[in-house]
Amino acid sequence: MTDRVPVLKIGEILLVSIQVDLEDQMVMDLQDDLSNRIVATGAKGVIIDISALEIVDSFVGRMLATNAAISRVLGAETIVVGMRPAVAMTLVELGLSLQGVRTALNLERGLKLLRRISAGRA
Amino acid sequence: MRDYGAALASADTVSVADSSDVVSARQMVRTLAQRSGMSLVHQTKLVTAASELGRNMLVYGGGGVVRAATITEAERCGVYVEFEDRGPGIADIELALTDGWTSGSGMGLGLSGAKRLVDEFDISSGPDGTTVRILKWGR
């Protein structure tokens, strides 16, 4: 059995901080866990912190895009924060633009962005 | 692409049979890239390419062996990586190298994307399996 990435709840936000080198199975588990937790908690926002990730390949990139789409359908907005510059350069050259995924430089800005989005909805 | 096979005499090797082995292969390539003095951006591109190709060999080739070694030439240093599987092979390599083309559930960026991320790329495929060779120079 592989490890799972923890999904933390803070108020109406779910926080996922990826701290390990991701195996494909962990990526798929995270997708399941996250959508279940959104429904169970009624979260309005999801923040995925990838500042510890040394690479984002097409598989992880697709997970980020799919998660954002699933969350949106379930009523939660996803922000991916903390992407390293070298990772961003590699992703673009790889051909992934992460369309439909909102990003912010760091956790603090991500939280601000989420607050702005939910204020706009209210 | 030149033949760098001789460098593999002192190669590091990882057998890939499941997705945790892809992580090990990635880590092996990263260690060699760091040892060769590669810049962080180049390291990231090489390791990402290795991740794509390692997953490909697992998903489409049923697993195989990844071998990697540093290459030193007069004025430059790089990392050479070979991915060899005994799978069914790729029927149309040109097509497989096209952006967005996929035979499975992927995004179709594995081969074409990996090729863009490295300096040299070579693929040979037949009914006995597929071998992909890549090289990334330090700068």
- A59-110: per-residue pLDDT in tens? 999 999 999 999 999 999 999 999 999 999 999 998 888 888 999 999 999 9
Residue A96 is assigned to a structural domain of this protein: yes
- Cross-chain residue pair A58–B113, CB shorter than 8 Å: yes
State pLDDT tens for residues A7-46. 999 999 999 999 999 999 999 999 999 999 999 999 999 9
Give residue A69's domain range: 7-118
Are B30 and A54 in contact (CB < 8 Å)? yes
Q: Is residue A25 part of a domain?
A: yes
| Partner-chain residue, chosen from A21, A85, A90, that has the shortest CB–CB distance to B23 | A21
Q: What is the domain-level CATH number for residue A20?
A: 3.30.750.24
Residue A2 lies in a domain: no
Other Cβ atoms closer than 10 A to B55: 21
**Structure token pair of residue A101:** 């995924």
Any domain includes A21: yes
* Nearest-Cα residue of chain B relative to residue A98: B107
Give B105: exposed, middle or buried? Use CB within 10 Å, 0-12, 13-18, 19+: exposed
Judge whether residue A122 has pLDDT over 70.
no
Q: How many domains does chain A have?
A: 1
Instruction: Provide the 10 A C-beta neighbour count for residue A105.
Output: 11
Give the global pTM: 0.92
Q: How far is A83 from chain B (nearest CA, A)?
A: 13
pLDDT digits (tens, 9 = 90+) for B57-105: 999 999 999 999 999 988 899 999 999 999 998 888 888 888 776 666 5
Residue A24 lies in a domain: yes
Confidence class for position B107, pLDDT limits 50, 70, 90: low
